[in-house]
Structure 1
Amino acid sequence: MDDSQVDQILRNPKFKEMVRRKSILSWTLTGIMLFIYVGFMLLVGYNKEFLGSSFSGGVTTVGIPLGLSIIVLSFLLCGVYSYIANNKLDQLNEEALKEVEAITHEKGMH
């Protein structure tokens, strides 16, 4: 693939749309995870009493399920990303690839 083909791919509107959507999705999910994780760390730093308190006088403190939920949330966000990437962004990727193949075949014929 030569430089002109690469330029055509990079200027392709479907390719640009795919990159834009993927970027928005990635940064949104990263922001959500960062907000929750930093919030948890701030809670650990500034309100240990709350995290150390028990639900009903038992052994399990509030911090245990909260910490576990953060871990579970990270897996869920990975699943959300995979689902959206596979079902929405792959369609744009396929359309862009078809146009790239058409560009490559055009260039090969000339």
Structure 2
Amino acid sequence: MSVAHLDATFLALADPTRRAIIGRLTEGDATVNELAEPFAMSLPAVSKHIKVLERCGLVTRSRRAQFRPCRLNVSALAEAESWIQESRRVWSDRFDQLDEHLRDLQAGGEAAR
């Protein structure tokens, strides 16, 4: 995943409305009208949120007769999750090294007493 794409994904997920839309789409495909139901905002505002999610690949739309249902693209979430897991591993290793270093310092200070 490119840095720009990763940035766009996290930017999209930073908004609570877009996270709620993603949450709803985990239950299955939905139209813009269905996605807009729980929000006190206009359909054009919800459509703008969906377009942000589409641009980073988290949501796709298909055509079914006159409807254009939205669908969650799980693989895009998996890419972000992969980045998070790798970062977690790196930071966990760094904290383990810091713990070891602090234990060594503490042990060295106790030996000097």
Q: Is the strand fraction higher in 1 or 2?
A: 2
Per the TM superposition, whether the score is higher than 0.5 is no
**Greater relative contact order (CA < 8 Å, ≥ 6 in sequence):** 1
Q: Is the helix fraction higher in 1 or 2?
A: 1
TM-score (ref. length: structure 2): 0.40
Larger gyration radius, structure 1 or structure 2: 1
